[in-house]
Amino acid sequence: MNARQLKQRLMLHLDPVLLAGLGGFMLVSLVLLYSASDGSWVRVLAQLGNIVVAFAAMWLVANMPLHWLMRIAVPMYVLGMILLLGVMTPLGVNSHGATRWLNIGVATIQPSELMKIAVPLMMAWYFEKNEASLKLRNYFIAAVLLVLPVGLIAKQPDLGTAILIAASGFYVLFLAGLSWRVMIGGAVAGLASAPFLWSALHDYQRHRILMLLDPSQDALGKGYHTIQGMIAVGSGGVLGKGYLNGTQTHLDFLPERTTDFIFAVWSEEFGLIGNLLLLGLYVFVIGRGFIITANASTYFTRLMAGSITLTFFTYAFVNMGMVSGILPVVGVPLPLISYGGTSMLTLMLGFGMLMSIHTHKKLVKS
Amino acid sequence: MSRFIELKNHQREIYYFRLRLVLSLGFVAVMLLILLGRFFYLQVIRHGYFHTMAESNRIYVVPIVPNRGLLLDRNGVVMAQNYSGYTLEIAPNKVADIDALIAELSQLVTITPRDIKRFKKMLTERQALETMPLRSQLSDEEVARLSAQQFRFPGVEIKARLFREYPFSDVTSHLIGYVGRINQNDIDQLTQDEIASNYLGSDYIGKTGVEQSYERELHGTTGFEQVEIDAGGRAVRVLSRTAPLSGSNVVLTLDSKLQEVAEEAFGDYRGALVALDPTNGEVLAFISKPGYDPSLFIDGIDTETWDELNNSPDTPLNNRALRGQYPPGSTIKPFMALAGLHYNTRSPSTSIRDPGYFLLPGSRHQYRDWKTGGHGGVDLFKSIVVSCDTYYYGLATEMGIENMHSYLTSFGFGKKTGLDMEGETSGLMPSTEWKAKRYNQLWFPGDTVSAGIGQGYNLVTPLQLAFATATLANDGVAFKPHLVREIRPVKGAAVPTETRQLFDLQINPEHIKLVKSAMEAVTKPGGTAAGAGYGVAYRMAGKTGTAQVIAIKQGEKYDEKKVSEYNRDHAWFIAFAPADKPRIALAVLAENGGHGSSTAAPIARKVMDYYLLGKVPQPLKKVAEKAVSEDD
């Protein structure tokens, strides 16, 4: 096997278009982290390590044949549920008032991250299995498969992850053809029961909800983040203050600036133009995801590809909305850019699946 | 044909799927437009505003600490208050080299290594956007010196802060508790309760006693200011301000004068006293002696003082009233008597012969009465008046431990009373089930015998015994004991604590009348507490008790002079008055005080004299104790 053949073999199941988009994000992430950590290389190098690991994982998944994905769906979901329940036992690790991690002896893991992949996978698998005779009952069972892990995660509490998983599951339901009547009926019922639920809540529960909707009520806590984030974005203007020149970033005003609020750094330093470019990059990757979805060959792969693509968008939307002050601060990182290995890994596993779905179908055809 | 339909269905399915996909695409587009609109609004339309905010202003959100609420007694006497003092504070994010700064500052004011250690610890624990105190309680002279030099030290501030003060010091230390510096555990707890942001500027939090259990009410709501600061970290202009809301004043049920009288009455004895209003459960006095100086703990206690307090044989840090567990001794007898009447094990008139000891059937082990030779013929009334052990040995044996357990538990023995203070212990009311679980042993008949006179496994806290006494005094109707009478918020009306009836035992009025009259006779000539009851101007009812600290071997006699001070018996006295319409019920424990009659009962008498007559005590007249010189 010569070098060219090797390269062909390695690239066989990768999608060059998607790969280019993802590479773009990695570049943005490293450049931005250097600024966000005040010119320190520590996080940049660590993130580089995360990227290498994530790409390797993506490559592995991309090379997995589709029936493998089908086969791992159930075990992965069951394992994820067991781990999630494990978090509620004394093995769960509490930090900053939330119990999200599980101590498995050698390390602590966050089962909810696994569920980001496992839940849509499981639901897509379920629909595929019952494709021939889909009834309302099947949608109901799929919804239960979704609600169980989401409930457990929301209870930890990890609202950000719970929302993302709920969204990914809802996309599967939607793409699987959940009837409009049920969706509209559900929405109407939800709205109608809201006043009753509200009056049934305790005062402190109401207070918490109001706090989430109006962060300025908690100007010393989460509201501080939002205020500083909005100042960073707004002061960036059209052209931005220039790379490494953001005052909000470099004078220590911006909290969480390498993680959840990294978008504020980008916005401050590169302005509206930069935001347009970044949105463009997201549109590029999401667009490619839609094309892959539209051409996917089986029911399972269509649902999975659609959910991965839409969830990726949701991720980005929730984070940017949160930083720019139109959504409450729920703790969702900017996908593929924020510092952190875990969310990068889960996202790239998703993209690996997209590539597998795309390339394995082509091979079948030829 | 069927194949055709399948194909067509498949195509239809794809068609529907793509339709949904297009709809999602539309959804994505709309969301993107919303984001774009928001960016345009922030970065173009409002750019000027945010530009000013970011560039020319350095805006900080500064918490304003609310004043902590006061603690008052039932008559409005201040039990915990605030005074203002100056602290030297540093904004760590405005200082490049903290060690160098501290070194320079210590040229101007005294800064002890302990201050530095505490400050460093705080640095790692608190958010960086606030200032942190390096030294508190600066003298006027130090303030003057610092102010003159302050320009040299950007990031250094002199702040007027409020400190906590406890006028009654060790007299109320176990009741009031104290505030102390917020530590990591507190922060974790606050974070979990989602009130951490309300403590951003706060240095102190209630650690024990009422200061702890009413922390939420006392703390108040933190306000905040958006301030513009200069490069040195000093505030130049306040942009907006949300005023803090001071904590509520908390009015206790306690009578501070009564508390002082009670504390004084103990003299040199260690011990505990809890006095309740039997008609509503209000705690009138709450003593655990010795106390300690709570102010030692406010800014962190130093190691030497801590060791001294912690290792003292007098255990001043132990809240005896709330957490001390002692055998109830003979104070259990009135309750046992009620149990005997309730189960019909004894009728009021049944009389037994007391030879001075009790024998279990088929055994030669003598369970001795405290009085050698015995009391002769003893009925229920006399059994309480002279505290006859033999009567209760037999009663307990005939009644059985299960009945005893069930009846005394209903009186609250072996259970927490639910007082509004953290850390209460539950005492112990043994049962066969308990012994099997705890020791994996059978319950022996001998266990029942000693349980009958409140020895053996039985344990009560002074609070519990006071609660049971109050319940008895109130004819079996129990009210939840509580320390707080009323919460007075800064704004709005005062919120009185609701009196909560816990249970009504519905005791036969004849039974309760008999037991109460016997308890009244205890304080009269011929009773075990005749000395303490001498010349009393109201109707006082009580019962003495002795809790053994060390076991006395069969055939030996306890001799007070022979055992070391800390091994001497504990003295108990429970009492209520006026006997016909009780207004106060209490339990007194004098540790290593010997007999209830000689040490604990006089303390109770002084407390009641003050509460009922307003009489400030003078040393009680020595009375020749005629009929009864000792009990048990």
pLDDT digits (tens, 9 = 90+) for B222-272: 988 877 765 445 666 777 888 889 999 999 999 999 999 999 999 889 999
Respond yes or no on whether ipTM tops 0.85: yes
User: pLDDT tens-digit profile of A292-303?
Assistant: 999 998 999 999
Report pLDDT for B42: 94
Domain ranges of chain A: 17-63+206-366, 73-200
Contact, A300 vs A164, CB < 8 A? Answer: no
Please name the helix (run of DSSP H) or strand (run of DSSP E) that holds residue B477, with its range, or none.
Answer: strand B477-479
**pLDDT above 50 for A36:** yes
In 3D space, the residue among B226, B220, B221, B277 whose CA is nearest the CA of residue B250 turns out to be B220
Distance CA(A169)–CA(A171), nearest Å, equals 5
Give how far A16 is from chain B: nearest CA, Å.
22
Rounded distance between C-alpha atoms, residue A328 and residue A324, angstroms? 10
Give the C-alpha separation, A29 to A182, whole Å.
41
Q: CB-based burial of residue B629 (10 Å sphere; 0-12 exposed, 13-18 middle, 19+ buried)?
A: middle
Contact of A88 with chain B, judged by CB distance below 8 Å, is answered with no
pLDDT (0 to 100) of residue B553 = 56
- By the CB < 8 Å criterion, does B45 face chain A? no
Confidence at residue B623, expressed as pLDDT on a 0 to 100 scale:
38
The model carries a pTM of 0.64
Q: In this predicted structure, what is the pLDDT of residue A228? A: 84
Position B368, amino acid: R
Radius of gyration of chain B (CA): 33
Q: Which residues of chain B neighbour A232 with C-beta distances below 8 Å?
A: 54
- Interchain CB contact of B40 with A (< 8 Å): yes
Q: Calculate the CA B403 to chain-centre distance.
A: 31
Distance CA B418, CA B468 (A): 13
Whether B40 and A283 lie within 8 Å, measured CB to CB: no
DSSP-based helix, strand, coil % in chain B, nearest 5: 40, 20, 40
Query: What is the CB neighbour count within 10 angstroms for residue B553?
Result: 8
Residue B619 has pLDDT above 60, yes or no: no
Amino acid identity, position B401? I
Lowest mean pLDDT among A268-282, B177-191, B370-384: B177-191
Q: Give the Å distances, CA to CA, from B243 to A66, B131, B217, B428.
A: 62, 19, 17, 50
What are residue B274's DSSP bridge partners? B286, B587
How far is it, in rounded angstroms, from Cα B504 to Cα B477? Answer: 4
Structure confidence by residue, pLDDT tens digits, B516-547: 999 999 999 988 988 888 888 899 999 999 88
| Distance in angstroms (rounded) separating the CA atoms of residues B587 and B272 | 8
Say whether the peptide bond before residue B290 is cis (omega within 30 degrees of 0).
yes
How many other CB atoms are there within 10 angstroms of residue A200's CB atom? 9
Backbone angles phi, psi at B572, to 5 degrees: -115, 150
pLDDT at B125: 60
- SS3 of B252, please? strand
Share the mean pLDDT of chain B.
86
* Spatial distance between the Cα atoms of B237 and B60, rounded to a whole number of angstroms: 11
Say if CB B383 and CB B400 are below 8 A apart. no
- Residue B60: closest C-alpha in chain A: A253
Please tell me which residue of chain A has the smallest CA distance to B199. Answer: A220
In angstroms, how far is CA A72 from the centroid of its own chain?
20
User: C-alpha distances in angstroms, A68 versus A57, A88, A168, A357, A360?
Assistant: 15, 31, 21, 11, 12
User: Average pLDDT for residues A175-199, to the nearest whole number?
Assistant: 88
B191/A234 Cβ within 8 A: no
What is the rounded CA–CA span in Å between residue A76 and residue A79? Answer: 5
Q: Please give the share of chain A, as a percent, with pLDDT higher than 70.
A: 93
The closest of B130, B112, B104 to B224, measured between CA atoms, is B130
pLDDT over threshold 50, residue A141: yes
pLDDT of residue B622: 39
> Would you call the peptide bond into B462 cis, given omega within 30 degrees of 0 as the criterion?
no
Position with higher pLDDT, A108 vs B612: B612
* Contact assessment for residue B192 and residue B280, using Cβ atoms and an 8 Å cutoff: no
Q: Residue type for B34, please? A: I
- Binary contact (B21, A175; C-beta < 8 A): yes
Nearest CA-CA partner of B271 in B465, B421, B469: B465
CB atoms B24 and A294 under 8 Å:
no
Task: Look at residue B555 in the predicted model and tell me its pLDDT.
Answer: 56
Interface of A with B in 259-298 (CB under 8 A): 267-268, 271-272, 275-276, 279, 283, 286, 290, 293-294
CA distances B237 to B59, B94, B211, B230, B240, Å, are 9, 18, 36, 9, 9
Of B330, B383, B387, B597, which residue is the catalytic one?
A: B330
Of B50-59, B360-369, B374-383, B600-609, the poorest mean pLDDT is in B50-59
Where is pLDDT greater, at B449 or B363?
Answer: B449
Whether residue B549 has pLDDT greater than 50 = yes
Contacts of A259 (CB under 8 A, 6+ apart): A333, A338, A339, A340
Does B58 have pLDDT greater than 70?
no
Task: Over range B443-465, report the average pLDDT.
Answer: 92
Q: What is the pLDDT of residue A172?
A: 95
B21 → chain A, closest CA residue: A175
Burial class (CB in 10 A: 0-12, 13-18, 19+), B195: middle
Residue A295 CB partners (closer than 8 Å, separation 6+): A358, A361
Alpha helix (H) residue ranges in chain A: 3-11, 16-36, 42-62, 66-87, 111-129, 136-154, 159-175, 180-200, 203-213, 222-236, 247-250, 262-295, 299-323, 341-365
SS (H, E, C) A96-126: CCEEEEEECCCCEECHHHHHHHHHHHHHHHH
The two structure tokens encoding residue A293: 């979805």
Per-residue CA distances from B433 to B360, B408, B451 (Å): 22, 15, 15
What is the sign, positive or negative, of the torsion defined by CA atoms of B48, B54, B55, B61?
positive
Residue B627 has pLDDT above 50, yes or no: no
Q: Are B497 and B251 in contact (CB under 8 A)?
A: no
Amino acid identity of B573?
Answer: F
User: Which residues 6+ apart lie within 8 Å of B30 measured at CB?
Assistant: none
| B293-351 pLDDT tens trace | 998 888 777 777 888 888 888 899 999 999 999 999 999 999 999 999 999 999 998 89
Annotated active-site residue B330? The verdict is yes
Residue type at position A122: M
Find residue B37's DSSP bridge partners. none
- Could you give the CA distance from residue B322 to residue B287 in angstroms, rounded to a whole number? 9
Residue contact B47–A237, C-beta within 8 A? yes
Report the percent of chain A where pLDDT is more than 90: 55
Helix H, strand E, coil C: the string for A206-236 is HHHHHHHHCHHHHCCCHHHHHHHHHHHHHHH
